[in-house]
Chain A
Amino acid sequence: MIESSMREELKNYLLKIPNLKLDLLIEYWSKPIPESFRVNTLKLPEEYILDRLRRRGLIFKKIPWARYGYILESESELSLTIEHMLGLIYIQGPVSMAPVEALDPKPGEMVLDMCAAPGSKSTQILQLLQGRGVLVANDPVIDRCKALSSNLQRFGGYNVVLTTLDGRAFPKLVGEFFDKILVDAPCSSLGIVSKDWSVVKNWSIHNVIRLSRLQTQLIRAAFDSLKPGGTLVYSTCTLTVEENENVVDNLLRSRRNACVEEARLDGLRYEKGFTEFDNMRFNDELSKTLRIYPYHNSAEGFYIAKIRKCE
């Protein structure tokens, strides 16, 4: 079904990606992503909230790479629970929790989430800040900020500023200001096709190249807004090389003090980032980045790169 709605241009592109198991990818695109959630320890202790869920008959298991993250194993509509409405849990895809774990914000730090809406990763950052330090949750699209605002409210973090700036404006506004920055960039979304099949119908290389240009500008702006020694995580929920390795390679070429670090995420299955693709040749450091396909963890597909600003 999904294969028949896929454009030939996309199929030919995916066939070029080394080691990508296309049949398996299409199979996983057709399956729903498992329901998963984070427990909000800003509100109440983890075990207290889990006990409430167990009493409702919910069965779940721990996500190894995400502190406070659980995958639901029983049938239930989490979004209709009192615990969700009260902000005691936050519904979020399991692999979507990985970029913030790679960023690893610490209490007291100054953190920017440059493309924050709808707010899953912002709330995760707030949780790890434990009320100390500041999160700037930014998204330039006002319409998307409504969901961001609601999700921040329900989560209950108070050390947060919501802004609607163009991400590219941050270096001019604040200079080298942030300890940690997350750029979860707008992308062609090939990692989350199971949420929205229209992605494969509307995909075009023209759009990928347009996004790649924007992503390069955003990652550079983020890097320039980092304090020396600060850390940046660049992530997308897509599989194209132009939006992933190519963007990070562009940063490494233009900023000599950008160093790629390996993100260590317990139990998360992935492949190493590419150092070459088609006619492109990238910095060898890109093999430290993470390519996560939907069939690796029976969940979303993602790309994650962790970059430090060397002093």
Chain B
Amino acid sequence: MKILSDSERELLEKILFHQHGVKEAFREFILVMSGDNKVRATTTETVEVARKLGRVLQVGVYVAKYRRSKNEVFLSIEGSQLLNDKLCKNVVELSEEECLQWMQGAPVSKSINTGSRYIVGKIDKIYLGSARVSRDNKLYPQIAVWRRLPEE
């Protein structure tokens, strides 16, 4: 269990501020780095309990994929839901049909004008995690395969 250092946290916060306008992202949580560049959010008390126990498989909830080398952060569905309305930049509203495509992991064609390579999807009050934006304005949702709805 590797807790993110102050400098690593600062960098993550900077990227999330730049990408989505979030100030002090996940400040109320302890952030833990797990395998495959995954960042998990939890509480101080939970970390203390985990340290008492053996055979810990995971702690907290997976909130983001953080690639330091590329300066990019992809928010998981739960990561975007925890940040909620703090996300004020590069958030794209989807229709029910687009949301379905998103949850199937299929690219969503949408005319957007954010100029960013990363957006967060949203339908009404529900945040759906990050997508990468291609040059031809397609949104590629970063939904884990196990979480995708099967195509009809």
Contact = CB atoms under 8 A, between A and B. Distances in A.
Given A88-B126, A161-B50, A156 B55 contact: no
A153 interface: yes
Interface residues of B, number: 35
Contact of B149 (A43, A80, A158, A163): A80
Contacts of A152: 61
B27 to A, nearest CB: 14
Interface stretch (B4-12, B16-24, B41-49, B66-74): B41-49
A172 B149 CA distance: 43
Contact of A134 (B43, B77, B149): B43
A162 B58 contact: yes
A233 B123 CA distance: 40
A209 interface: no
Interface in A155-182: 156-165, 169, 173-174, 177
Given A82-B99, A82-B103, A85-B147, A158 B57 contact: no
Say what secondary structure dominates the interface of chain A. Answer: mixed
Contacts of B43: 134, 158-159
A58 B59 CA distance: 35
A154 B125 CA distance: 17
Say what secondary structure dominates the interface of chain B. Answer: mixed
B103 A165 contact: no
A85 B128 CA distance: 10
Contact of B61 (A82, A153, A164): A153
A160 B42 CA distance: 8
Contacts of B81: 43, 156
Given A82-B100, A87-B77, A156-B78, A136 B53 contact: yes
Nearest to B152: A80
A173 B146 contact: no
Contacts of A86: 77, 103, 126, 128
Contact of B53 (A85, A160, A174): A174
A82 B96 CA distance: 10
Given A85-B149, A133-B45, A158-B29, A165 B53 contact: yes
A43 B83 CA distance: 11
Nearest to A48: B125
Most buried by B among A48, A152, A160, A174: A160
Given A110-B49, A160-B42, 13 more contacts: A80-B149, A80-B150, A86-B126, A86-B128, A149-B57, A149-B58, A153-B61, A153-B78, A158-B42, A161-B46, A165-B54, A169-B54, A173-B53
Interface of B: 29, 41-43, 45-46, 49-50, 52-62, 76-78, 81-82, 99-100, 103, 125-126, 128, 146-150
